[in-house]
Every structure is written in C-alpha cells, then in structure tokens.
Amino acid sequence: MRRAAAAFAALFVALLALAALAGPATANDLTSPPGLDEVPAGGYRLTEREVLRIADRLPEVREARAEQRRSTRSAFLKPVRRWQVSYYDDQKDRAEIAQVQIDDATGAVLEVWTDYKVPWTMARGYDGAFGRKINSPFVWVPLAILFVLPFITWRRPFRMLHLDLLVLTGFSVAYAFFNQGEIEISTPMTTPLLLYVLVRMLWIGLRPKDTDRPPDRPLPLLVPAMWLGIAAVFLLGFRLGLNVLSSNVIDVGYSGVIGADKLANGLPLYGDFPEDNSSGDTYGPILYLLYVPFEQIFGWSGRWDDLPAAHAAALVFDLLCVGMLFQLGRQVRGKAMGIVLAYAWVAFPFTTFATNTNANDALPAALVIAALVAATSPGGRGILIGLAGLTKLAPLALIPVFATYRWRGDRVRTIALYALGLLIATILGLATIVLHEGSVREFYDASLGFQADRESPFTPWGLYDGLGGLQTGVQVLGVLLGVAVAFLPRRQDVIGLAALSAAVLVAAQLGLGYWFFLYVVWWIPLVLVALLARDGEPDLT
C-alpha cells in the first residue's frame, strides 16, 4: 500500500506540473463591419452589402425566412477574414433562425445552418470541438478494443457480459454520429442504449444473489490481472500526454475555474458570470469549491485562454476515480479486482474523452465511488453522497438508495448517522454560498431552476415536438424508481448498491431535457463494479 500511495502521489505531482503545458485556446469574437459599402481594414476584400447579397440567395436561408412573418439580418466580421451573416425572427425576441459563414477571399459559402443547429453550435459536427485528438478513430477505436478484449471468453461466446460490453461500446457509435453532426441518428440511438443499461442494472441489483454463477468462480480474463495493471499505467500516461498535446477546455471546465476565482476573491458565486460563459453557474457550490486549489496554484487570466487550472483539475479528478475504483475492487474481491476495475476505467474511451475536454464530470463519479468505499459507514456515505450531489446535482437522486443500505439492524441509528452526514455536507455547501453574499434562492434559480427549463436536440424531448407529456411521465417514473429501490428487496452488498445507483442515475438522465455523452462518466464506474465484480477475484499473475 505504501508503494501504491507513493506512486499515486508522484503521478499527482506530475499531473499538476504538466497541466501547465496545455495549448492555448482559439478566439471566435464577432465584430461589426465599418459600413454597408466600406471594405473593412485588415486585408478584407468584400463589403457588407456584397456579403449580404451572397447569403440572401441561398435556398436554405430563403426557406427559413419564408417561415417567419418578419425577419432581419446582420453581418459580422470573424477572425481569419471570414464573415458571418445572422438572420433573426423579430417576433420571437430576435431568435436566430439561420446563420451563414462566408470566406472573404473567395466569396465562397463555407457553412449554412438552420433550425436547431443555429443556436446549438455543438450539433454541427465541428472537427475536434470536444476533446481534439481523442475523436480520431486511430485513438478511439483502439481504446474501445482494449476496453472489451480482456473480458472476452471465447469458450462461452454467448456470455451475458459480452452483450453488456457491446452495448457500452455502442455509445461510441452514437458519439461518432454526433461528431458528424448527424443528431437525428445519434439522439434516438442513445435512448435504447440507456434503457438497456437501466434494465440490466435493475436485474443485477434487485436479485438477492447471483443464481447463474458459482460464488467463488474467478472473473475470466484473457491475460493475468497484473498485465492489465501494467497496461493501465501506460494508458494513464497516454491520456496525460494526449491532454497536454491535443486537448481543449470546454465551457464545463471553464465554469469551474470562474467559480473558484469568485470564491477565492470573496465574490458572490451565482450570477454575473462572464459573457462567454454566462450560464456557467449552474452547478453545486462544492464543485466550485474543489476547483479553488487548482485556481490558486495556476491562476486565471480572466478570459477563456488555455486554463491550466481546468487541465489540472480534470486530470486529478480522473486519477481519483482510478484510485477509488482500485480501493473498492480491493475491498470487494481483492487486489486483482481492484486492478481490473482501474484498468476498465482508463481503457473506456469516454473517460479519456472527459479528461481531454477537461470537463469536471469525473468529480461526482469519484465522490460516488468513494461513497461505495465507505458504504459500511452510514455517516461517511452520507457525507460523500451529499458532497457528490452538491457538485453536479444528479447524485442527489442517490440519497434514498444509499440511506437504506444494510439498515436491517438498528434502523434509527443508521438513518440518524446517514442524515447527519448529509447535513454536514449541506452545511458546507450552504456556507460556501452564504459566506460569499449569495442566497439559496439564487443557487436554485441558477442550477435546478435553469436545468428544469433547458431543452436541447440531444434528447428525444428536444429533437421531436409534442413529447412534453411523455417526458413528464418519464421524470415521474425516475423519481418513483429512486425511492422504490431503497425499499424493495435487493442484493445486500456493494455490488447491488452500485447496480441500483447506476440504474437511478440512468433513469434520471432519461428524463433530462439536456443530455450529453460526458454524462456516461457519471454512471460507468458503477456499471463496471456491477458487471465485473460479480465474479470472484481473477488470477493476479
């Protein structure tokens, strides 16, 4: 254990040091041209009138404008001598209905966007917009193969685990369509995949015990677990190098740095975020609080630059997930299982995707895994679930299922200690808000209130019209499920708790108005525990 702790400490320091080397971000500022018939300075060739004439002739633009009773348009200058022409519906608070990108040198139309791809630039399929090089098939596909291959049992080709791994890999296919801007394919593809995970986790969690396998049968692996441990170290080094050489910080990581800077300077946490991330205050106060050490070490320039603090935070949160999974597997089955779970995390492509976007989605995952590690302590798991819920809010749905874990003895004492742990986490979160001149109402409006009204084309509810009633029904069922699994007969061990926790998180995601592939990271460690730790400890060497 001392050697492992020393190794993790050394890697932690390396992550902090190398995060400062991350590359710079690119600007995308818009400026107004000097006049309708005046050629802008800086090497431009076209005038605003000429650009408007080019854009007005496009069939897509004519169709979008024909559907509106009254529309207007404006032209803007973009970096690298490009133009943007935006069309607005004046009867809907100047909502943008069409957008055209034009090359100044040639007058060629580079991009035309209508419908939901106007406000949702992330739906356009821009190359490398999320995570840069991780999106290359030469990176993603090998990772997916490395994730699946060690768990294939050739003598038992119809083993259920094979189908489970195939479904988990299916999210990569859906993401590939997303990267091509094929939202009409990627969005409906994710729903059945999530439903499969939900049903599978309920099947495992609600069964009192595994009746389909001998209790001591080791998890079959193609190679000894120690080989997977060595591979995990190399994969950690690979994702570190990929982060330094070819990654970007999306708005999620940027939000963490902004919030940390506000806390460090005694400013109100919610409200008055920068214009380039105006809705970045949608998360729980603990998330911003945990960014403070990184912001204090690396600082922040006040703009969306290379943000080394976000790089360091994402890498450390990822490392915490690795360490927590190793410890959890070690507790449940032994050292070899800890290695297997850590390897599965670092090989799964979406976890590298999270680090390469420098998002914070590994943070709630790490806290929920830690709650599983501390599951036998009602107070400990109460604190950790409370902290997880005050980062990205979704883990709040896990409060009931963790409350009744192994409470058949002294129920009053168990619930009291668990509630005390939740209370401690809540006080810490509220103190973070109130001590910085904020209010609980501001927190609610910016976070839960904002998310409740959020719609996107990345869920069926936003992509298709007329599904509002069905979405409400799914949300109600998700809430009922979160409460019901706390009291239904279930598997009374950490594997069952992990499975039901994954089911609750997936059910919550199915009802969201906004969903993104980073959310897979919230529940994938729980699914890995439920699927892989059901068997006995595999061979170490």
CATH number at residue 98: 3.10.450.40
52 and 15 housed in the same domain: no
**Spatial separation of the C-alpha atoms in residues 326 and 349, rounded to whole Å:** 18
In a domain, 213, yes or no: no
19 and 75 housed in the same domain: no
229 and 114 housed in the same domain: no
The pLDDT value given to residue 440: 83
Question: Can you tell me the mean pLDDT for 93-107?
Answer: 92
**What tokens appear for 66 in the block?**
């024909």
In a domain, 310, yes or no: yes
Question: Can you tell me the mean pLDDT for 189-202?
Answer: 97
367 and 350 housed in the same domain: yes
Question: Can you tell me the mean pLDDT for 119-127?
Answer: 92
- pLDDT for 17 beyond 50: no
CB neighbours of 369 closer than 8 A, spacing ≥ 6?
321, 324, 325, 328, 525, 526
Residue % of the chain over a pLDDT of 90: 78
Question: Can you tell me the mean pLDDT for 124-137?
Answer: 93
Least confident residue range of 28-32, 245-249, 260-264, 357-361: 28-32
262 and 307 housed in the same domain: yes
- pLDDT for 266 beyond 80: yes
166 and 281 housed in the same domain: yes
Strand extents, DSSP E, 59-217:
71-78, 82-89, 95-103, 109-114
Question: Can you tell me the mean pLDDT for 414-420?
Answer: 96
The pLDDT value given to residue 213: 60
In a domain, 210, yes or no: no
- pLDDT for 18 beyond 70: no
The pLDDT value given to residue 8: 46
292 and 381 housed in the same domain: yes
The pLDDT value given to residue 383: 97
- pLDDT for 203 beyond 90: yes
Q: Across the chain, how many H-helices and E-strands are there?
A: 22, 4
The pLDDT value given to residue 93: 76
Q: Are 384 and 367 in contact (CB under 8 A)?
A: yes
Confidence of residue 156 (pLDDT cuts 50, 70, 90): confident
**Spatial separation of the C-alpha atoms in residues 218 and 237, rounded to whole Å:** 29
308 and 248 housed in the same domain: yes
State the DSSP string of 315-355. HHHHHHHHHHHHHHHHHHT-HHHHHHHHHHHHHSHHHHHHH
- pLDDT for 21 beyond 70: no
Output 67 or 307, whichever has higher pLDDT.
307
- pLDDT for 477 beyond 60: yes
139 and 113 housed in the same domain: no
Confidence of residue 366 (pLDDT cuts 50, 70, 90): very high
Least confident residue range of 5-14, 25-34, 225-234, 303-312: 5-14
The pLDDT value given to residue 214: 60
Task: Calculate ∠ Cα 320-324-325, nearest 5°.
Answer: 120
Question: Can you tell me the mean pLDDT for 471-492?
Answer: 94
| pTM across the whole model | 0.90
**Spatial separation of the C-alpha atoms in residues 533 and 64, rounded to whole Å:** 54
Q: Which of 450, 479, 508 is the last residue of a domain?
A: 479
Question: Can you tell me the mean pLDDT for 330-345?
Answer: 96
**Spatial separation of the C-alpha atoms in residues 237 and 233, rounded to whole Å:** 6
Q: Are 44 and 104 in contact (CB under 8 A)?
A: yes
The pLDDT value given to residue 11: 47
297 and 242 housed in the same domain: yes
Q: Which of 479, 504, 526 is the last residue of a domain?
A: 479
Question: Can you tell me the mean pLDDT for 36-44?
Answer: 92
In a domain, 215, yes or no: no
Q: Mean pLDDT over all residues of the chain? A: 91
Task: Calculate ∠ Cα 279-281-285, nearest 5°.
Answer: 165
Confidence of residue 211 (pLDDT cuts 50, 70, 90): low
The pLDDT value given to residue 210: 65
Q: Are 402 and 396 in contact (CB under 8 A)?
A: no
**What tokens appear for 159 in the block?**
């083993």
**What tokens appear for 8 in the block?**
């993790």
Domain that holds residue 226: 2-24+128-192+221-479
Output 290 or 444, whichever has higher pLDDT.
290
Q: How many domains does the chain have?
A: 2
**What tokens appear for 3 in the block?**
């050697």
Give CA separation, 296 vs 21, 194, 265, 287, in Å: 17, 38, 10, 15
107 and 173 housed in the same domain: no
In a domain, 516, yes or no: no
**Spatial separation of the C-alpha atoms in residues 390 and 413, rounded to whole Å:** 24
Which alpha helices (H) appear in 435-512, and where do they start and end? 440-444, 450-452, 460-463, 468-484, 494-510
Q: Which of 479, 507, 528 is the last residue of a domain?
A: 479
- pLDDT for 270 beyond 50: yes
- The closest alpha carbon to 85, from 100, 98, 70, 96, belongs to 100
In a domain, 377, yes or no: yes
The pLDDT value given to residue 154: 87
In a domain, 486, yes or no: no
97 and 229 housed in the same domain: no
Task: Calculate ∠ Cα 274-352-16, nearest 5°.
Answer: 65
In a domain, 40, yes or no: no
**Spatial separation of the C-alpha atoms in residues 247 and 102, rounded to whole Å:** 27
